[in-house]
Amino acid sequence: MNVAVAASRLGLSAAYVTRLPKNPLGRMIRNAARLHGVDTSHIVWSDGDRAGLYFMEYGAAPRRSAVLYDRKNSAISRISPGEVRWADIFSKTKLFHTSGITPALSSSAAEVTREALSAARAAGIITSIDLNYRSKLWSEAEAQACMTGLMEFTDVLITTEEDTYRVFKIEGGDYNEVAEKLHSRFGFKVVAITLRQNISVWKNNWTAVAYDGERFYDDQTYELEIVDRVGGGDSFTAGFLYCYLTKGDIQAGVRYGNACCALKHSCPGDLNWCTLEEVESLIAGAGRMRIDR
């Protein structure tokens, strides 16, 4: 949903596919996506389940921030193969994006993730995955067993050095070597590695690189004063995919992804409220310290 919202705000047509409880909380989640222009017509509604929750505890040096997940028996964790009409959805789709968090929720969610990626590949559309390893949801061995099988359906992988090692046991002398090893092993069209340097809980440096098997694409590093970092990686994904789809330009994708991510850190909550104009203004060097009146 974070990626769909950010992509929609950049100007793409985006849809959110999930399974939600048919109650006020489920409708609130649906309406939050609709507020930003995201198509929610493909949501599967459940009568007897609950919405998964997580609680964010914000830290301050020397105490780090922490997340508590409350997602057991959530509606999406109980999704089953055949519930979503992927063929209908993909008949009007250019790209399908998902995250490593979804298959971590349950064995049936993992089956549906594979079902979706397989259907996307059969439909001839681009697929992308954010590896997004979460140790509080599954073990490294479980993630490796599941995610390795999904890579055969993946065109674009977005990951970090840390997640790459924890899931695939791939490491290198630097992030460029990690990207090369990922590309060599799985044959992606593009692999992007996001790079976050934690100066403190509330100050980070951010950049990313991409590799297509022939060359590396990099960008400036943004110094971030953080309002909320949750959803930053999702915003990079949205900015990258926006350029990948509209321009066919990986270099521009890295620039737009980094700028979109940097701006997300200034927004409270998971969702990115920035616009395409703001992203392009930041890329052009308009980091303003005064109020824009």
Where residue 202 sits, what CATH number does that domain have?
A: 3.40.1190.20
Q: Is residue 67 part of a domain?
A: no
pLDDT at 28: 97
Q: Is residue 75 part of a domain?
A: no
- Whether residue 70 contacts residue 105, with contact meaning beta carbons closer than 8 Å, is answered with no
One-character DSSP codes across 198-220:
EEETTEEEEEEEEE-SS-EE--P
pLDDT at 185: 98
- The catalytic residue positions are 234
Q: Is residue 197 part of a domain?
A: yes
pLDDT at 49: 95
Q: How many CB atoms lie within 10 A of CB 24?
A: 9
Q: Is residue 248 part of a domain?
A: yes
Q: Is residue 40 part of a domain?
A: no
Start-to-end CA distance of the chain, whole Å, equals 32
Rounded CA Rg of the chain: 18
Query: pLDDT tens string for the chain (293 positions)?
Result: 999 999 999 999 999 999 999 999 999 999 999 999 999 999 999 998 999 999 999 999 899 999 999 999 999 999 999 999 999 999 999 999 999 999 999 999 999 999 999 999 999 999 999 999 999 999 999 999 999 999 999 999 999 999 999 999 999 999 999 999 999 999 999 999 999 999 999 999 999 999 999 999 999 999 999 999 999 999 999 999 999 999 999 999 999 999 999 999 999 999 999 999 999 999 998 765 555 65
Q: Is residue 41 part of a domain?
A: no
Number of domains the chain contains: 1
Domain range spanning residue 9? 2-14+84-283
Q: Is residue 25 part of a domain?
A: no
- Whether residue 256 contacts residue 243, with contact meaning beta carbons closer than 8 Å, is answered with yes
pLDDT at 157: 98
Q: Is residue 59 part of a domain?
A: no
Question: Where in 121-265 does DSSP place strands (E)?
Answer: 126-130, 156-159, 190-200, 203-211, 216-217, 222-225
